[in-house]
Amino acid sequence: MESSVDRIIFEGGISLYRKESGFCTHLNSKGGPVIIHPTQLVETGLRPLLARLQLPTGVPFTLILNSEGREVTRFSAMGLFEHHGYYAFSLDYLTNALLYHLDALARNYETVRDRILDAALIPGAGLGNEVNFTYQPEPYFEFDAAITVARRAYDSCRYVLWRMWGPSKGSVPSSFSRTIPLYLLYVST
């Protein structure tokens, strides 16, 4: 997979970009970008969060990575469509929306970090070890959107559960938390 990866975003908004000579940072330093292998960042304890690949068509594709740096398996509605119909596509939409907002959150965090680094290059800026860089609402917008879509995906699971294991009569409960007790009551009888 590494050969098709053109960008990796780590915790702390640190990004590595693929260049001819390998991966490098894009920091504005006097010596230019720093060549670094992703394993060097992993060895410092930083976890990779996202990897962007260039598909053969030239379209970028973002992968969310788990704590070991491996791709998180994406949800696929096609395998569930036969039993769950369009509810499976709703879950597919919501999980892809969640991935989109997590990707955007990481990219916004990277942008805020870059703004702080750019400010540090100003002679006499006097930035210490800690920086309070106010009014950067974009990461909060994306965090809010990610939490909202995760909640919607969680609640939408009730349709799949009810359709697969619920009673054949009656309507789908109004929330996931109401579905579980009814499901447990149904299976215990």
What percentage of the chain carries pLDDT values higher than 70? 80
pTM score of the predicted model: 0.67
Residue 143, pLDDT score? 93
> 89 is in which domain, residue-wise?
78-122+134-188
Any domain includes 109: yes
Phi, psi of 26 (to 5 degrees): -115, 25
112 and 158: one domain?
Answer: yes
Residue 117, pLDDT score? 74
Burial class (CB in 10 A: 0-12, 13-18, 19+), 160: buried
Mean pLDDT of the chain: 78
Residues in the chain: 189
Number of structural domains found in the chain: 2
First to last CA, the chain: 49
| Domain edge (last residue) among 18, 37, 64 | 64
Residue (of 109, 97, 98) closest to 10 by Cα position: 109
